[in-house]
Amino acid sequence: MTSLESRQRKHILYTWTAQNQASPVAIAGGDGVWFDDQNGERWLDLESQVFNCNAGHGQSAIVEAIREQAAELACAHPAAVFETKAALGESLARITPGDLNRFFLCLSGSEANENAYKMARLLTGRQKVIARRRSYHGSSMGALSLTGDTRRWPLEPGLWGVLRTEDPYCYRCPLGASPKSCGTRCTDHLEHVIEMEGPENIAALFLEGVTGSNGGFIPPDNYWPKVREICDKHGILLISDEVFSGFGRTGKWFAVDHWDVVPDMITMAKGVTGGYAPLGVVAIRESLAERFDDETLWCGLTGYAHPIACAAANAAISVYEDQGLMENATQMGVHLTAGLQELKRRYPIIGDVRNLGLFGTIEFVKDRKSREPLTPYGTNGDPDSFLGRLRAALKARRVHIAQKWTHLFIAPPTCINQSEIELAISLIDESIAEALAGGSS
Ligand SMILES: Cc1ncc(COP(=O)(O)O)c(C=O)c1O
């Protein structure tokens, strides 16, 4: 352990881990899809610093905007009027679909979901909400209660009234369908839950645009339009959590843009500032937000619309536009898909690969026929397992990447180029081969 790491470890806690199991990289700076560690070694960032640094490292326009804002105005009352804040509203209104033209600003994805949840209850007067079983919506108690996955378990009971519906996880359909026979099985299940719980009691349905850390589930094309129809029928607000899937991750501003669906709210964070400052946003339809013109919006925080976060978001949105990063993510996604398909062709330990834009997933299995996951749900594999050896092999090649449970996620910054995609695939290829052979020789 370096002296810097031991100094840090003495006082600062690591998240989501037993402290003695953390194995962090000491990051010094970066450029594009690369970052340097404190020893001057370059790492290929296939995780974008927790799916966050979507515009890439070292984007000088964002850094400069933060610097200018800090020099001009760095501290303001949540209700204060200033140029960068007004401009952020205009930028967000330009990129959000339909009439999602009013915005609530906070500090994280968790807070965005908390506030969307509160607004849904205030607007509908209903108390229950629905979220999917394999989902993540954040770490604060409300957002964690919405979360379907194992991160919720240690802190139960959470909020009352969160109902579960099944995921469009077509490779491993929880309702026993196959993509060919499926039709609308998971949206039928949603209708069933609504009927059994009473539509008049249900305020909102929370869905990730494309499921993120639970496994990169890309829904069938009829899924989002059907869900919109069901919510309209029952007066249930449809909320797309785009904290992970927004800002170019899938090649669009928001994943729902792939299916031309306008949700009632979109929650966002991470890539909205390219990860250069903390910011969460709830985008809400004009027609819904109008209610708060005369009624109190019982939501707020001291760090609301922080000037530095507003400046970072304005600059990040301009960078995505000026550098054509949505288009690049779509084009590079074609190469990523091809690379992933080739890996699947070569390695039977890969059961499925999926990709949309620059959000690729490799799903490992014990056996292709049974589709049994390599590790039980919620576990990552011991250091001496295939997955442990794979982690070590990737680390040895200075590939920064997320492996969670039986999945490996490939989610680089949207400024990646074709040769970097090819390099990423070849380093993953070498690492899988080494892990299969039993580890480094
Ligand atoms: C889909 C989704 N929603 C919400 C969150 C929570 O965001 P934050 O960590 O900024 O609170 C995350 C974080 O990874 C996420 O992936």
Q: Per-residue pLDDT averaged across 283-293, rounded?
A: 98
* 267, burial (CB in 10 Å: exposed 0-12, middle 13-18, buried 19+): buried
Q: What's the confidence (pLDDT) of residue 30?
A: 97
Q: What's the confidence (pLDDT) of residue 182?
A: 76
Q: Per-residue pLDDT averaged across 260-268, rounded?
A: 98
Ligand 1 centroid – CA 295 distance (Å): 29
Q: What's the confidence (pLDDT) of residue 178?
A: 79
* Percent of all residues in the chain with a pLDDT value above 70, rounded to a whole number: 99
- pLDDT class for 440, splitting at 50, 70, 90? low
- Closest C-alpha to ligand 1, atom 7: 109
- pLDDT class for 81, splitting at 50, 70, 90? very high
* Cβ of residue 267 lying under 6 Å from some atom of ligand 1: no
Q: What's the confidence (pLDDT) of residue 174?
A: 86
Ligand 1 centroid – CA 137 distance (Å): 6
Task: State the CATH class of domain 3-55+324-436.
Answer: alpha beta
| Range list of β-strands (E), 209-287 | 237-241, 265-268, 280-284
Q: Per-residue pLDDT averaged across 88-108, rounded?
A: 98
Domain-wise residue ranges, the chain: 3-55+324-436, 61-322
Ligand 1 centroid – CA 440 distance (Å): 34
- Closest C-alpha to ligand 1, atom 3: 137
What 8-state DSSP symbol labels residue 270?
G
Q: What's the confidence (pLDDT) of residue 119?
A: 98
Q: Which atom of ligand 1 approaches the CA of 278 most closely?
A: 10
pLDDT higher than 70, residue 364? yes
* Cβ of residue 269 lying under 6 Å from some atom of ligand 1: yes
pLDDT tens-digit readout, 116-141: 999 999 999 999 999 999 999 999 99
CA–CA separation, 345 vs 359, rounded Å?
A: 19
- pLDDT class for 29, splitting at 50, 70, 90? very high
Q: Which atom of ligand 1 approaches the CA of 108 most closely?
A: 10
pLDDT tens-digit readout, 209-258: 999 999 999 999 999 999 999 999 999 999 999 999 999 999 999 999 99
* Residue 172, token pair as written in the block: 């491993």
CA–CA separation, 243 vs 139, rounded Å?
A: 13
Burial 75-112 (b: 16+ CB within 10 A, else e): ebeeeeeeebbeebeebbeebbbeebbbbbbbbbbbbb
* Cβ of residue 137 lying under 6 Å from some atom of ligand 1: yes
Q: Per-residue pLDDT averaged across 194-210, rounded?
A: 98
Q: What's the confidence (pLDDT) of residue 163?
A: 98
**Residue of 105, 110, 239, 279 best suited for mutating to test ligand 1, as the one with most atoms within 8 Å of CB:** 110
Ligand 1 centroid – CA 411 distance (Å): 15
- pLDDT class for 183, splitting at 50, 70, 90? low
* Cβ of residue 213 lying under 6 Å from some atom of ligand 1: yes
Domains 3-55+324-436 and 61-322 share a fold: no
Q: Is the full-model pTM beyond 0.75?
A: yes
* Cβ of residue 147 lying under 6 Å from some atom of ligand 1: no
- Closest C-alpha to ligand 1, atom 13: 138
CB atoms within 10 A of CB 193: 16
CA–CA separation, 352 vs 216, rounded Å?
A: 11
- One of 3.40.50.150, 3.90.25.10, 3.40.640.10, 3.40.50.300 is the CATH number of 61-322, namely 3.40.640.10
Contact indicator for 108, 142 with CB cutoff of 8 Å: no
pLDDT tens-digit readout, 63-75: 999 999 999 999 9
Q: Which residues does 437 contact at the CB level (< 8 Å), separation at least 6?
A: none
* Cβ of residue 148 lying under 6 Å from some atom of ligand 1: no
Cα-Cα-Cα-Cα dihedral sign, residues 286, 291, 293, 296: negative
* Cβ of residue 359 lying under 6 Å from some atom of ligand 1: no
Q: What's the confidence (pLDDT) of residue 441?
A: 47
DSSP 42-110: EEEESSHHHHT-TT-BT-HHHHHHHHHHHHH-----TT---HHHHHHHHHHHHHS-TT--EEEEESSHH
- pLDDT class for 181, splitting at 50, 70, 90? confident
Ligand 1 centroid – CA 196 distance (Å): 30
Ligand 1 centroid – CA 131 distance (Å): 14
Q: What's the confidence (pLDDT) of residue 177?
A: 84
CA–CA separation, 216 vs 362, rounded Å?
A: 9
